[in-house]
Amino acid sequence: MQAAQEPSKQVKVVLVGDGGCGKTSLLTVFAEGYFPETYTPTVFERLSVKLQVKGKTVQLQIWDTAGQVDYDRLRPLFYPDAGVLLLCFDVTSPYSFDNVLNRLTQTDRALLCRPWPAPLPNQAEDPSVAKPHLPPSPAVVPGGEPLLQGRAHHARGLQDRPAYGQVTVKQASEDAAGASDLQQGREPALGEGQEMARSVGAVAYLECSALLQENVQAVFQQAAKVALSSRGQNIWRRITRSFCVIT
Ligand SMILES: Nc1nc2c(ncn2[C@@H]2O[C@H](COP(=O)(O)OP(=O)(O)OP(=O)(O)O)[C@@H](O)[C@H]2O)c(=O)[nH]1
């Protein structure tokens, strides 16, 4: 007699990061197995992908979000019930790197760290609401769980992306919310990415390249593991894992 098949676990994953930093490409390589040749800005899209994690089938519900600033207030609406956030940036774009801190942690995380429904960042502070733990304060987020930060990246030394760098930097600069020495056009070094991961309290840090199809599976495997490890926690615990990606 055949054993009843165990229903697969559902995990919600949300990809966030500057417009044009490579979220859709990363997801397309993972879900469809090919690198998309044309750039079409995403609004909000969901893909469902099955993955084997420790011998068990996991159903990933992956939300690809719009990176443009116009959607900054809409994006956090996709966070409730998420098991993991993938914070993405482009290794050739210092702006998208800075924006992981400047935009994603100062605005989106501010919303994440408040009870739902969250007040918008420019609304007056409500003293009855717990203050969010924002960088550089300790990496504590709702439920007290550590964040996960990964880093996906175009492998350096493999000639990836010279043609895309300018386009991406231009795109990202329109979204830039803060200045740093990285805006001189220098790519963030590996150590800087890891440092940033620590400063936002991420619990993992990965690099990958969508174009070269390197480490893409590992990013989502790691995301699934982290999300599963927080299952059974309350809703806020389940949205506290975040993951930073460079593509
Ligand atoms: N060279 C190289 N280019 C990439 C890579 N990943 C993405 N790109 C290019 O970067 C551009 C933007 O990629 P997308 O994946 O659409 O970026 P996105 O973050 O989804 O953008 P939005 O939908 O606007 O938020 C496209 O021209 C891609 O071809 C990569 O790994 N290497």
Q: What is the ipTM of this complex?
A: 0.98
Answer yes or no: is the C-beta of 20 below 6 A from any ligand 1 atom: yes
Answer yes or no: is the C-beta of 39 below 6 A from any ligand 1 atom: yes
Answer yes or no: is the C-beta of 109 below 6 A from any ligand 1 atom: no
Would the CA dihedral through 218, 30, 59, 67 be positive or negative? positive
**Burial bucket for residue 157 (CB in 10 Å: 0-12, 13-18, 19+):** exposed
**Whole-Å CA distances, 182 to 93, 164, 196:** 9, 18, 13
Question: Between the ranges 23-27, 131-135, 210-214, 222-226, where is the mean pLDDT highest?
Answer: 23-27
Sorting pLDDT into bands at 50, 70 and 90, what band is 30? very high
pLDDT tens, 107-159?
A: 555 444 433 333 344 545 444 433 333 222 222 222 222 233 333 333 332 33
Where is 164: in which H helix or E strand? helix 162-175
The answer to whether 176 and 23 are in contact (CB under 8 A) is no
Q: For residue 203, is pLDDT > 70?
A: no
Sorting pLDDT into bands at 50, 70 and 90, what band is 58? very high
32-35, long-range: CB < 8 A, 24+ apart: 35/210, 35/211, 35/213
Question: What value does the mean pLDDT take over residues 212-239?
Answer: 68
Answer yes or no: is the C-beta of 24 below 6 A from any ligand 1 atom: yes
Ligand 1: centre distance to CA 234 (Å): 34
The answer to whether 22 and 169 are in contact (CB under 8 A) is no
Would the CA dihedral through 140, 143, 145, 149 be positive or negative? negative
Distance, in Å, from the CA atom of 219 to the CA atom of 199, rounded to the nearest integer, reads 20
Sorting pLDDT into bands at 50, 70 and 90, what band is 210? confident
Q: Specify the pLDDT at position 157.
A: 29
Answer yes or no: is the C-beta of 93 below 6 A from any ligand 1 atom: no
Answer yes or no: is the C-beta of 160 below 6 A from any ligand 1 atom: yes
Q: What is the CA radius of gyration of the chain?
A: 17
Ligand 1: centre distance to CA 20 (Å): 5
Quick one: what percent of the chain has pLDDT higher than 70?
50
Give nearest CA residue, ligand 1 atom 14.
22
Q: Specify the pLDDT at position 159.
A: 32
Q: Specify the pLDDT at position 48.
A: 95
Ligand 1: centre distance to CA 247 (Å): 7
Which residue of 14, 15, 16, 24 sits with most ligand 1 atoms within 8 Å of its CB, as the best mutation to test the pocket?
A: 24
Question: What value does the mean pLDDT take over residues 9-33?
Answer: 88
Ligand 1: centre distance to CA 22 (Å): 3
Ligand 1: centre distance to CA 23 (Å): 6
Q: Specify the pLDDT at position 109.
A: 53
For residue 28, give the ligand 1 atom closest to its CA: 15
Answer yes or no: is the C-beta of 164 below 6 A from any ligand 1 atom: yes
pLDDT tens, 59-99?
A: 999 999 898 888 888 887 887 777 777 878 777 777 887 87
- Give the Cα-Cα-Cα angle 230, 50, 78 (nearest 5 degrees): 55
Q: Which of 232, 177, 201 is nearest to 85 (CA)?
A: 201
Give nearest CA residue, ligand 1 atom 8.
22
Answer yes or no: is the C-beta of 23 below 6 A from any ligand 1 atom: yes
Q: Which of 75, 80, 72, 91 is nearest to 169 (CA)?
A: 91
DSSP β-ladder status, 45-53 and 56-64: antiparallel
More reliable by pLDDT, 75 or 57: 57
